[in-house]
Structure 1
């Protein structure tokens, strides 16, 4: 991502964050009358952050050279940023101040070590897959193949969950909380885009999604960021029906950019019978020669 594009992202992010906060929410007096801007004025953000209006204006224009941790903390407090948003702003500032360099692999690795395959295969009571930061699904265990059979039914190699969410109409039936998963997908990609601004593969994916999905383009322009870490996902599986599963996204320190995503069921869940039917839905695995195993295994 060119330096001017990073500065534009900083401007849009800061503008969007102050636009969502009212003076009342910020604890500022409301003197009535018609306001010319939605949310906070620049002068109000500067006041809350204890910096000059001129300095905040320069920051909002993307001129962030020399920004200290103290200033970053002050901005995060003034704009009521959560931990994810603060980390995102910090990543944008680092990107703006770093020499521009292009890479087409950062965060989009497709290599999965054999030991990770073995870990997934050992998870017989959980659906699990490995994805990279581009949301490519690189390898799955049997239960994840059964759960995600529609998302994996694609000519793309490896399959990409963002493409499934925004470009495949089946996703709106598969995810019962489609709006939530769409928000998380866009937020995850925007977080990664700030972390690796020279990532041309990711830029191509974002351009593809924005070109072919108005929904993605609208959400991308909102500049929301998200970490997909843990929670509950509500599915409608075409063969077994509705099922709610707990998910955890486990980053792999030895393989930066790779994450194991697991879906499990509480022993007291009302969906125990559905989960059992999903396990019965697993197709018999094809024999695999470990020496010639493909990375996707899909």
Structure 2
């Protein structure tokens, strides 16, 4: 991806969303641009207009952390956006000799699989940063049943979200799921812009989905750590879970996500029904008890 273009569009889109009133600035006369002007951001950040204009043209070479922090404050960046700006600056200051970040893992170690299998009361999955769904426990496989129906391995949650018509049924809040998916991929693209598999995935989705391409152009980013998610499962109906995302620090880019329902809720009862159904399916066809080998 073009580093300068990424920087330029990210800063421009963040600047366009902030009104002078939000920034505590007086306005006079007619304004021709949405949001703040470049000189206004420069003033808020304590740098010259020419210097900020250079940054927004996509040149972050040599920029200090203190300047990045000042720009983050001026543009009211949240934690994910601030981290993304730092990632873009790191890429701009990276030479070809220092690009060797290890790619996201594609394999799940046996010990991690045993941990998954030991989690018998909650759905749990392991993903990498490209949203390849690499492993799942019994309830995780049952929860993501329509995703695993794709014979290709590893299955990918971004492809499912934007290219599989079932996704709009499985995710009742599809717009939110789509926005989160794009923001997660955009975050990873800033963190690891030299990942060829990630670039290929983004190119594929941009070519095959206008909806993805339009969302990608918004340059939104997100740190995906915890929250709630609702599924409409084809067997047991609607399920709402709290989820926690935990990094597997020994495995580059891998995370374990566990889903838990509220006690004594309809989703808690639905999960019990899903567990019973999954156990029955395993007895009928043991071959479906684990995703196919990668």
TM-score range, shorter chain: over 0.9
Greater displacement, 193-202 / 133-142: 193-202
> Aligned pair 1:20/2:21, yes or no?
no
Measure the CA separation in 1 of the matches of 2:253 and 2:157: 15
Change (3 A) 1:90 1:103: closer
Alignment correspondent of 2:55:
59
Change (3 A) 1:246 1:294: closer
Measure the CA separation in 2 of the matches of 1:84 and 1:211: 26
Alignment correspondent of 2:228:
232
> Aligned pair 1:284/2:282, yes or no?
yes
Measure the CA separation in 2 of the matches of 1:107 and 1:178: 29
Q: Cα RMSD between the aligned structures?
A: 2.1
Q: Report how many residues are paired.
A: 290
Q: Is the Cα–Cα contact under 8 Å of residues 237 and 270 in structure 2 kept in the other structure? A: yes
Measure the CA separation in 1 of the matches of 2:202 and 2:42: 33
Offset at 1:105?
A: 8.8
Q: Is the Cα–Cα contact under 8 Å of residues 104 and 199 in structure 1 kept in the other structure? A: no
Offset at 1:251?
A: 0.7
> Aligned pair 1:215/2:183, yes or no?
no
Measure the CA separation in 1 of the matches of 2:132 and 2:100: 14
Alignment gaps of 5+ in structure 1: none
Offset at 1:182?
A: 0.8
Equivalence map 1:60-75=2 (5 Å): 60-75=56-71
Q: Is the Cα–Cα contact under 8 Å of residues 110 and 295 in structure 1 kept in the other structure? A: no
Measure the CA separation in 2 of the matches of 1:200 and 1:103: 12
Alignment correspondent of 2:120:
124
Q: Is the Cα–Cα contact under 8 Å of residues 85 and 225 in structure 1 kept in the other structure? A: yes
1:262 to 241, 258, 270: 258
The Cα offsets for residues 236-285 of structure 1, whole Å up to 9 and x where unpaired, read as 00111111011111111111200001111121323222111111120216
Measure the CA separation in 2 of the matches of 1:219 and 1:75: 24
The Cα offsets for residues 201-254 of structure 1, whole Å up to 9 and x where unpaired, read as 110000000001111000100000012211110110011111101111111111
Offset at 1:296?
A: 5.1
Change (3 A) 1:56 1:6: same
What SS does the corresponding residue of 1:26 show, helix, strand or coil?
coil
What SS does the corresponding residue of 2:34 show, helix, strand or coil?
coil
Measure the CA separation in 2 of the matches of 1:6 and 1:189: 16
Offset at 1:197?
A: 1.4
Alignment gaps of 5+ in structure 2: none
1:162 to 158, 165, 175: 158
What SS does the corresponding residue of 2:282 show, helix, strand or coil?
coil
Equivalence map 1:117-196=2 (5 Å): 117-196=113-192
2:92 to 66, 90, 96: 96
Change (3 A) 1:105 1:88: closer
The Cα offsets for residues 110-153 of structure 1, whole Å up to 9 and x where unpaired, read as 11110000000000011001110000011110001111000111
Offset at 1:40?
A: 0.5
What SS does the corresponding residue of 1:24 show, helix, strand or coil?
coil
TM-score (norm 2): 0.94
Offset at 1:287?
A: 5.9
Alignment correspondent of 1:30:
27
Offset at 1:68?
A: 1.0
Measure the CA separation in 2 of the matches of 1:26 and 1:120: 48
Alignment correspondent of 2:36:
40
Change (3 A) 1:215 1:161: same
